[in-house]
Amino acid sequence: MRHIPIVILGGGIAGLGAALRARELGLDSVIFEARLSLGGLLDNFVVDGFRFDNAVHLSFANEPEVRAIFDRTPYFTHPADSQCFDKDVWLKHPVQNNLFPLPAARKVELIKSFVSRPDIADPANYEQWLLSQYGDDIARSYPIAYTHKYWGTPPNRLSVNWIGNRMRRAELDEILFGAFTAETPNTYYTKEMRYPKQGGYKAFIQPLIDASAVELDACAIRVDSAAKRVDFRDGHSVSYDRLISTLPLPELVHLLVDVPADVATAAAALEATSIDLVSVGFNRVIDLDLWFYIYDADIHASRAYSPSVKSPDNAPQNCSSLQFEIYQRGRKARFSPQELKDNVRGAILKMGIAAGEDIRFMHHKRLPWGNVIFDVGMEENRQIVRDHLESLGVKSCGRFGEWDYLWSNQSLLSGYRAL
């Protein structure tokens, strides 16, 4: 049996970060990736000459360690401007600060509800936080409606620990100003987004891929931490001194030998979303936004972005592209690929994006892991699993290894700091 000092399970950005740190320390490591290519959620695919990322990816990293890697790749810089669609109306993001397109009577209703919002000093869940921030009408019309689409979970089941700066706090001055004019400032948590000029978002991590020792099509099926051995689906095994995993915590626990009952129960309680991607190629240049959010309940997708706006290299000349993201809780699909394509086609027409004859193709792809769901009480179950892994000497990192809401830059550092 082959011995490898550092075995890394998973070739996404966290695994690549761990391999980078191993090289810096002069340690031998090998990444074992179950798929036939590296990148994980940052990988991409090509359909009829159009490149699509695995969901929307744009970099706003400011950590010097991350920029030292990403900035090796020539990139475009985009303003962080986004739009929202709801019931035939386009509004700037965030909605509560950009009510100007709405009828006057509707704006009055929303603002009155905001003024009379409840004072909840210590919200017990995300729904209470939203109501205390925006008032009942704004909250239920927009972020609560979006929560069901994006998280597949009622907001009263979600904690508030993930919010950070992801949600704009409501201010009366901003709401009033945005009700009177469309000339509102951008209040997004970052002012610019970066994207590679060529090769998709994966180009940012290509230097890490090129420098790493990798085995593809290597799906782990068993981890014996006492023997320090990993078994793979093709029948081969490796021994290790140190094991670093970027696998989702529930999957990793399932691979472990002799897992205590409380750890198995805690891991089974950890939930995440899956993502259906409907990628659309257009046979002409269409005026598209970089990305936008969709509140409309008739449209399954919660957001969409334009690969061809991120970089012209992502589409053939004189063409455009969009990718719609449909999220749900769990792994079991709610809709067939054809149902999703039909819904996206209807959405394109309803939003006035393009005519039916402009659509060159529609492509479906399903990603089993999207975002960690922050159920109330999730952190306790997560800690039980983390403590068990630590007792075994197994390091777990990345979005699903830490079981946290990490962006790509944070996931890279998570892997880097695992050694």
What are the tens digits of pLDDT across the range 150-163? 999 999 999 998 88
Residues 263 and 125 in one domain: no
Residue appearing with tokens 């929202």 = 84
> Is residue 329 included in any domain, yes or no?
no
Rounded CA-CA distance 418/155 in Å is 33
320: Cβ–Cβ under 8 A, 6 or more apart, which residues?
Answer: 281, 282, 284, 285, 286, 288, 306, 308, 309
In 3D space, the residue among 88, 103, 93, 89 whose CA is nearest the CA of residue 174 turns out to be 93
Residues 106 and 228 in one domain: no
The verdict on 125 and 266 lying in the same domain is no
DSSP state, 325?
A: E
Average pLDDT value over all residues in the chain: 96
Please check whether residue 12 lies inside any domain of the structure: yes
Element (H, E) at 276: strand 273-282
CATH (domain of 220): 3.50.50.60
With respect to residue 401, please indicate whether it lies within any of the assigned structural domains: yes
Residue 407 lies in a domain: yes
- Judge whether 240 lies within some domain: yes
Whether 155 and 236 map to the same domain: the answer is no
Q: How far apart are CA 129 and CA 152, in angstroms?
A: 18
Which of these ranges, 16-25, 166-175, 365-374, has the smallest mean pLDDT? 166-175
CA distance 208 to 316: 28
Classify burial at 163, counting beta carbons within 10 Å of its beta carbon; exposed 0-12, middle 13-18, buried 19 or more.
Answer: middle
Whether residues 29 and 176 share a domain: the answer is no
Q: In sequence order, what DSSP letters do the residues of 148-197 get, joined into one string?
A: HHHHSS-GGGB-STT-TTSSPPP-HHHHHHHHH-S-PPP--S-SEEEEES
Rounded mean pLDDT, 217-225: 98
Tell me whether residue 331 is in a domain: no
The count of other CB atoms within 10 Å of the CB of residue 232 is 17
When divided into structural domains, the chain yields a total of 2
pLDDT value, residue 163: 84
CA 257 – CA 357 distance, rounded (Å): 55
Res 216: pLDDT: 98
Task: Identify whether 45 is part of a domain.
Answer: no
Tell whether 309 is covered by a domain.
Answer: no
**pLDDT tens digit string along 230-267?**
999 999 999 999 999 999 999 999 999 999 999 999 99
Predicted confidence at residue 189, as pLDDT, reads 75
CB-hemisphere CA count at 13 Å for 110? 24
pLDDT > 70 in the chain, percent: 100
Render pLDDT for 98-122 as a digit per residue (tens, 0 to 9).
999 999 999 999 999 999 999 998 9
* The pLDDT value given to residue 168: 72
Q: Return the exposure string of 257-279: e unless at least 16 CB atoms fall within 10 Å of the residue's CB, then b.
A: eebeeebbebbebbbbbbbbbbb
CA distances from 267 to 226, 228, 272, 332, 386 (A): 20, 21, 12, 18, 10
Q: With bands split at pLDDT 50, 70 and 90, how would you rate the model's confidence at 191?
A: confident
Whether the Cβ atoms of residue 283 and residue 358 lie closer than 8 Å to each other:
yes
Instruction: Write out pLDDT tens, residues 159-181.
Output: 998 887 677 778 899 999 999 99
Range of the domain at 266: 2-38+212-270+377-416
Number of other residues whose CB lies within 10 A of the CB of residue 56: 18
What per-residue confidence (pLDDT) applies to 5? 98
**pTM value?**
0.95
Token representation of residue 93: 């993001």
DSSP, collapsed to helix, strand or coil, labels residue 12 as: coil
Where does the pLDDT of residue 202 fall: very low under 50, low under 70, confident under 90, or very high at 90 and above?
very high
Bond into 94 cis (ω within 30): yes
Residues 8, 149 share a domain = no
Look at residue 162 in the predicted model and tell me its pLDDT: 86
Q: Are residues 247 and 104 in the same domain?
A: no
Do 14 and 162 lie in one domain? The reply is no
